């Protein structure tokens, strides 16, 4: 019975672990604890998996239980713990180079003092014990030297200065200096020189001496031509080969074209040039439609909500200005001619479910609608339904097995009085009680009518010729 109870506990614990393992999760690497079980959020499956203990295969530290790290693909003791044990073991050995000093195989290391009372024998032959000469220097493991900083610039540590470069400070070991190229130059590893930066601006290299609304970018290399960029407030239009008004332009650079509220409601079209803007008010806020470019298509903005929009000839597009779930303004491109665009602007009021925003009722304000409540997050029983079903089936199976076991034990119990059946010579079995003495059956020595038990009968042999004396 006790073994069945232990089996049930083991199966129940496994079922609880199964119920937690496999839950969906979002924060990859997050650790979750359920009782005595520890899980992590797996990146590949977005589910919880049980963390490994010592010796388990791993790829990241969060796949191991707290206090252990993933070293060389195996969950082991934490790295700091291993270092502490190493330091404590070496500290017991007198004269080792530890706790501040460091070992180096460089003889006469710069900016460091040689310590003769400590040794580096545990590192091998040829190592010396050093300590940086003062607090302004620190030992750099990568460089193996005492430095005042790290040379992170390009080209980095050099023995002598190169052209078009500047010396930062003495962040390098020995006699080397830390160099970086000038602001308009970059390091070329093939030439080992600081060379002029390439022309990366827009429009870039052009075979001309002057660009309208553009300027020359100095200190930039072009294979042919001159390096240009557009002035502030203009951007390059490759189709027009010109610097046109950009989406970051201020309102002072625009030419205002009037569209009345009635015209916008009816859907009026007008011929617009690049740089024209159409101001209008909507839902208590001022907007404007601005034409940025007109070639094979138009580029425009609806300030301050939409920037860098494109529309081709014959296309229409609706925009939700106030993010209320319904389109508010429809823009249609009816024609293009000599850098001008025939544009139709119309107020609309149509939800996102409508497929054709051009066929709608005129704009009229509508009351805000309360958003529908989102679906509730599934609870514990919904997420772990299958695991709980497995636990229930196992429990019922164990209960049925226990019932059958008790029934079989009851059927195997021997009946009372069948251990010594009566024989032919002894019709009354030894374990059967004798009948009481009744009147008329008492022995001669006992008066009739006495109620006394009969004396024990002598053992009767199975030989019928035998008679007792």
Phi, psi for 113 (deg, rounded to 5): -110, 135
- pLDDT digit string, tens, across residues 379-424: 666 667 778 888 888 889 898 988 888 888 777 655 444 444 444 4
Residue 113's contacts (CB-CB under 8 Å, 6 or more residues apart) are 130, 131, 132, 133
Check residue 280 and give its pLDDT: 92
C-beta separation of 145 from 110 below 8 A: yes
Residues 6+ apart with CB under 8 A from 86: none
The structural domains of the chain, ordered by start, are 2-80 (no CATH), 93-147 (no CATH), 155-198 (no CATH), 211-245 (no CATH), 251-351 (2.60.98.10)
Contact in structure between 230 and 243 (CB atoms under 8 Å):
yes
The pLDDT value recorded for residue 250 is 46
Give 57-61 contacts, CB < 8 A, sequence gap 24+.
60/29
Residue-level pLDDT at 344: 95
User: What is the model's pLDDT at position 29?
Assistant: 65
CB-based burial of residue 149 (10 Å sphere; 0-12 exposed, 13-18 middle, 19+ buried)? middle
pLDDT averages per 10-residue partition of the chain, 469 residues: 47 48 67 73 79 79 76 68 52 68 86 87 84 80 76 83 81 77 85 87 88 84 89 78 64 79 91 90 89 82 86 89 88 86 92 58 52 57 77 89 84 53 48 54 51 58 52
Q: Measure CA of the first residue to CA of the last residue in the chain; give whole Å.
A: 59
**Whether pTM exceeds 0.75:** no
Are the beta carbons of 332 and 343 closer than 8 angstroms?
Answer: yes
Within 290-379, residue ranges assigned H as helices are none
């Amino acid at each position: 019975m006790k073994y069945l109870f232990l089996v049930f506990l083991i199966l129940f614990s496994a079922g609880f672990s199964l119920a937690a393992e496999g839950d969906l999760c979002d924060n990859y690497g997050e650790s979750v604890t359920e009782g005595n079980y520890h899980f992590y959020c797996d990146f590949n499956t977005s589910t919880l998996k049980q963390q490994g203990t010592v010796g388990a295969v791993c790829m990241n530290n969060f796949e191991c239980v707290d206090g252990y790290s993933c070293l060389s693909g195996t969950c082991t003791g934490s790295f700091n713990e291993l270092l502490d044990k190493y330091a404590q073991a070496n500290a017991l050995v007198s004269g080792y180079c530890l706790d501040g000093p460091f070992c180096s195989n460089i003889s006469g290391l710069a900016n460091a003092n040689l310590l003769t009372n400590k040794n580096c024998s545990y590192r091998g032959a040829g190592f010396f014990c050093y300590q940086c000469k003062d607090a302004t220097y620190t030992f750099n493991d990568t460089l193996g030297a005492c430095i005042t900083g790290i040379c992170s610039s390009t080209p980095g540590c050099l023995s002598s200065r190169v052209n078009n470069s500047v010396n930062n400070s003495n962040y390098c070991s020995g006699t080397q200096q830390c160099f970086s190229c000038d602001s308009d130059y970059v390091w070329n590893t093939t030439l080992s020189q600081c060379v002029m930066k390439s022309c990366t601006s827009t429009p870039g290299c052009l075979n001309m001496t002057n660009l309208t609304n553009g300027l020359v970018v100095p200190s930039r290399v072009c294979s042919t031509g001159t390096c240009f960029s557009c002035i502030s407030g203009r951007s390059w239009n490759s189709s027009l080969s010109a610097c046109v008004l950009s989406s970051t332009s201020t309102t002072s650079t625009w030419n205002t074209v009037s569209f009345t509220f009635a015209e916008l409601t009816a859907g009026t079209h007008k011929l617009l040039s690049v740089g024209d803007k159409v101001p209008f008010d909507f839902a208590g806020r001022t907007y404007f439609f601005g034409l940025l470019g007109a070639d094979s298509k138009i580029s425009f903005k609806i300030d301050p909500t939409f920037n860098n929009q494109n529309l081709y000839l014959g296309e229409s597009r609706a925009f939700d200005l106030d993010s209320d779930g319904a389109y508010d303004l429809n823009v249609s491109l009816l024609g293009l001619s000599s850098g001008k665009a025939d544009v139709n602007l119309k107020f609309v009021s149509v939800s996102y479910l409508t497929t054709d925003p051009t066929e709608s009722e005129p704009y009229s304000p509508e009351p805000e609608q309360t958003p529908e409540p989102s679906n509730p997050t599934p609870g514990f029983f919904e997420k772990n339904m299958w695991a709980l079903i497995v636990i229930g089936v196992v429990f019922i199976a164990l209960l049925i097995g226990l019932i059958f076991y008790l029934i079989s034990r009851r059927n195997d119990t021997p009946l009372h009085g069948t251990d010594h059946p009566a024989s032919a010579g002894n019709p009354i079995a030894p374990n059967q009680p004798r009948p009481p003495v009744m009147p008329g059956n008492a022995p001669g020595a006992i008066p009739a009518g006495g109620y006394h038990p009969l004396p024990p009968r002598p053992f009767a042999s199975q030989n019928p010729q035998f008679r007792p004396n």
